Amino acid sequence: MRSLFSSMKTRLIYLTITTLFIISFLSASYAAEDPTAEPGKERRIIWKKEVALGYNRVTGNTRESQISGSFLINRNNMHIDEWILKGNAYYSSNNRKMNSQKWYGNGRYAHSFGSTKKWYNFYNMEADHDRFADIDYRLIPSAGIGYWFYDIPEFKLMAEASIGYEHTAYRTDIKNEDEWILIPRAFLEKQLFTNTTIIQDLICYPAFENFNNYRLRSETTLNVAMNSKLSIRVSLLDEYNSTPPENVKKNDLRLTTSLAYSF
């Protein structure tokens, strides 16, 4: 009976936080106004839509197949309001036996404020799955604040921090976990050449109760534009978990090469 009550209490807490997140998310988006916009004149809306697909095939003593895909939808209202929806999936097999299956999704709204519009507040929802790390699904609603140090086409640099509530459901008999987390993030984008850009995105997820319990996600991407639509992309993703489930490695390192199409 106590176990049932605890489970119901956890679900109620998570549902309440998620509901408050959605209400804040929607209210902020409707309330956001651009004080610099001329009366009766609509602000310029910039859309960015992109899909990417990567595939590797190795033959010889072993036969290994790797496939990855991702998408991005970005709606930017003159750097005042920004909506982002993105996701990626990864699958690999060795000698016809699956050895990796992962997916990740992210929805986000941000609103810039202040005279220079360098500060912004944001609301975020993350979801992911990792079969071989024993993660059935993980959900993280969060809200926070960030600052753009530089935001020009040749160079972008920002830092942000948010507070989130992480719910993790495991595939095995491990008890589901719910905990408050702090989420610091740093992002850098640098144009190396006319058609070549390097991007670094670093996110940490330490638990409030114990900072020694944390996850770290680092993604380094080299993007080479072939034309205005097509790009070749090489990404190195490093995911670290300080306290993984039993028989699961702390580090998961993945290198992917893909072709991206913007429209």
Structure confidence at residue 58 (pLDDT):
72
Q: How many other β-carbons are positioned within 10 Å of the β-carbon of residue 58?
A: 11
Each residue's pLDDT, cut to its tens digit, for the chain (263 residues) gives 545 444 554 555 555 555 555 555 554 444 444 444 555 445 688 999 999 999 988 777 778 899 999 999 999 987 799 999 999 999 999 988 998 999 999 999 999 999 999 999 999 999 999 998 999 999 999 999 999 999 999 999 999 999 999 999 999 888 999 999 999 999 999 999 999 999 999 999 999 999 899 999 999 999 999 999 999 999 999 999 999 988 888 999 999 999 999 99
The architecture (CATH level 2) of 2-262 comes to Beta Barrel (2.40)
**199: helix, strand or coil:** strand
Looking at residue 57, its pLDDT comes to: 80
Sorted by sequence, the CB contacts under 8 Å of residue 191 that are 6+ apart come out as 153, 154, 155, 197
CA-to-CA distance for 82 and 101, rounded, in angstroms? 30
Query: With contact defined as beta carbons under 8 Å apart, do 156 and 178 qualify?
Result: no
How many other CB atoms are there within 10 angstroms of residue 164's CB atom?
Answer: 21
According to DSSP, the residues that pair with 204 across neighbouring strands are: 216
DSSP 207: B
Q: How far apart are the first and last CA of the chain?
A: 55
- pLDDT given for residue 33 in this prediction: 47
∠ CA 180-186-190, nearest 5°, is 160
Structure tokens given for 176: 């589901």
Distance CA 169, CA 191 (A): 40
Between β-strands 97-113 and 230-241, what pairing exists: parallel, antiparallel or unpaired? unpaired
**Rounded Cα–Cα distance for residues 25 and 228 (Å):** 33
State residue 78's pLDDT score.
78
Q: How many CB atoms lie within 10 A of CB 262?
A: 15
* 164 token code pair: 């989130």
Q: How far, in Å, CA of 204 to CA of 139, rounded?
A: 15
Widest distance between CA atoms in the chain: 69
pLDDT at 178: 95
